[in-house]
Amino acid sequence: MQRVVLHLDMNSYFASVEQQANPFLRGKPVAVLATMTSQGCTLASSKEAKAFGVKTGVRAEEARRLCPSIRFVEVDPPKYRSTTKRIFSILTQYSESIEPYSIDEAFLDLTGLAPSLEAGAQLGYEIKQRIKDEVGEWLTCSMGVASTRWLAKFGGDTTSKGGLVILHRGNLTAYLKGRDLQEAWGIAGATAAHLNKLGIRTLDELQVTSPVNLMASLGIRGYELWANVNAVELGGLAQPRQPKSIGHSHVLRVRNRDPRFHKALLMRLCERAGRRLRDLGLEAQGVYAHVSLEPGGGLGLPAMPRGKAWQAGGSKKVYHPIHTTRQLFKQVWAMLGDGLHRGTPTFYALGMFRLRPVSGQLSLLEKRKPAALARAIDRINNRYGEETIVEGELMRLDGSFAPDRIGFRKTTGVDVAPEAEAF
């Protein structure tokens, strides 16, 4: 049976969703910013903005310099998640074998439904049209159709915006010819440099290199590279699995040396991470916390002369598993507390690792009450909204600090709405 994998990649996704929501932004350069400040980072730019060189990661002031007429929009994660859900719900009507790869990318295994790659492409065109009809006419996507997951994504990544490409053994060599190694998914600077040393500079050269020679130099990774460009399937679509770590980070947009503010902020980040941990029914046996500090006086201290910025924090394993927000906060505060007095915090990152399902193991030293309290608080917040009940440190912290943010990878599963097609 012909294996058919389709890869879908939404074009300029966040910016396109904003243009879909506001038709007066269509056809104009638009940048979606993480924060509406001059230092705000561009998370996505429309194709019109890209023509001016405004790419992901460019700061707002630089974007304005590149394109004076650019329009800025602040990121709105629930809008994108909800739109993604509607798009993915269309995909699930074609196959139950779907791998959401990121908020704007997915793989779909059409084997059995489509007897050939061409038939798979026809379904791809149908899906494109349904996205336009049922979600929004301004939303376009690129697609790759191939017999392997890697080739489907490679096709989707390299075809024109809004295009669809079919890759099969017959056209593969011609498609790879002359393409730089780093155009391929999974080949970055170090691997490309290694391959260059072997005299391999393009993907078609990689395709005809002996896998034995590649393995002699790169080990199993060498075989994977060869297999990818020779249409050999290695793994298929990835199945949902338990995360290896759960964490949150935040760049502070204000410089503040009030210890109460920072305790509250860390508590909010801990609550976010703790909620996700408990939602997944997990506990953690490892914790990490980092803070970037700007010279100029620590928390509660007068301003100091400026000097070199530095970082504090670390990671450690814990004997008693972490399950509640309070347990996480206690560990994080212990790890960062001293460092916070040596500078002004500008960035926090915290999280947990060594995750495992809640064991229910009773502890001789720890009381059971905190876990029951955490569950009760979660139930209330589930019912009435986030932060209806908060830990004391979090009281009166404005909601604009450490707001909801969105990542580019593997964010599906967060804040997924229940099935509801009423509107």
Partner 1 sequence: MLVFHEQPRDKVRVFVDFNGPKVTPKAFEWAGKRYDIHSVNLVYQHRHGKGYDWYFAVSDLANTYVLSYSPETLEWVLEEVQGQ
Does the footprint of partner 1 cover residue 17 (CB under 8 A)? yes
Q: Is 367 in the site for partner 1 (CB under 8 A)?
A: no
Residue span 283-322 as binding mask against partner 1, x where in contact by CB under 8 A, dash where not: ----------------------------------------
Q: Is 71 in the site for partner 1 (CB under 8 A)?
A: yes
How many residues interact with partner 1 (rule CB under 8 A)?
A: 28
Q: Which of residues 185-204 bind partner 1 (CB under 8 A)?
A: none
Site for partner 1 in 106-165 (CB under 8 A): 135-136
CB of 37 to partner 1, least distance (A): 16
Return the SS3 of 86: helix
Q: Of these, 1, 24, 199, 308, which contacts partner 1 (CB under 8 A)?
A: 24
Whole-number minimum distance, CB 232 to partner 1, in Å?
A: 40
- Answer whether 253's CB lies under 8 Å from 260's CB: no
| Integer Cα distance of 304 and 213 in angstroms | 59
- Nearest-approach distance from CB 246 to partner 1, in angstroms: 18
The answer to whether 79 contacts partner 1 (rule: CB under 8 A) is: yes
Q: Are 256 and 303 in contact (CB under 8 A)?
A: no
Order of strands across the sheet that contains 42-45: 42-45, 30-33, 71-74
- 419 binding partner 1? (CB under 8 A): no
Contact (Cβ atoms closer than 8 angstroms) between residue 229 and residue 195? no
Q: Least Å distance between CB 28 and partner 1?
A: 10
Q: Which of 105, 224, 271, 393 is catalytic?
A: 105
The string of DSSP codes covering 9-20 is EETTHHHHHHHH
Minimal distance, residue 385 CB to partner 1, in Å: 4
* Per CB under 8 A, 413 contacts partner 1: no
**Would you count residue 217 as binding partner 1 (CB under 8 A)?**
no
Phi/psi of residue 416, each to 5°? -80, 125
Please tell me whether residue 349 adopts helix, strand or coil conformation: strand
Minimum CB separation of residue 80 from partner 1 in Å reads 8
- The tokens for 265 are 């902020």
Contact between 21 and partner 1 (CB under 8 A)? yes
The DSSP annotation for 243-283 comes to -SEEEEEEE-SS----HHHHHHHHHHHHHHHHHHHHHTTEE
Q: Residues for the chain: how many in total?
A: 423
The rounded radius of gyration (Å) of the Cα atoms in the chain is: 24
CA distance 293 to 124: 49
Residue 245 binds partner 1 (CB under 8 A)? no
Comparing CB distances to partner 1, the nearer of 3 and 81 is: 81
* CA dist., res. 24 & res. 357, Å (int): 49
Largest CA distance in the chain: 72
Selected range binding partner 1 among 74-82, 96-104, 246-254, 292-300, rule: CB under 8 A: 74-82
Active site residue 387: no
- Considering the rule CB under 8 A, would residue 381 count as an interface residue with partner 1? yes
**Options 384, 395, 399, 413; binder of partner 1; rule CB under 8 A:** 384
Does residue 415 bind partner 1 (CB under 8 A)? yes
Shortest Å, Cβ 387 to partner 1? 11
Should residue 38 be labelled a site residue for partner 1 when binding is judged by CB under 8 A?
no
Closer to partner 1 by CB, 193 or 416: give it. 416
Stretch that binds partner 1, among 162-170, 222-230, 331-339, 381-389 (CB under 8 A): 381-389
What sign does the dihedral 414-418-421-423 (CA atoms) show? Answer: negative
Token pair in block for residue 413: 């599963």
In whole angstroms, give the CA distance from residue 152 to residue 148: 6
Q: Any idea what DSSP says for residue 409?
A: B
Report the 10 Å Cβ neighbour count for 222.
Answer: 23
- Name the phi and psi angles at 167, rounded to 5: -115, 125
Q: Which residue ranges make up the site for partner 1 (CB under 8 A)?
A: 17, 20-24, 71, 78-79, 82-83, 86, 135-136, 381-386, 388, 415, 417-418, 420-423
Question: Active-site residues: which are they?
Answer: 105
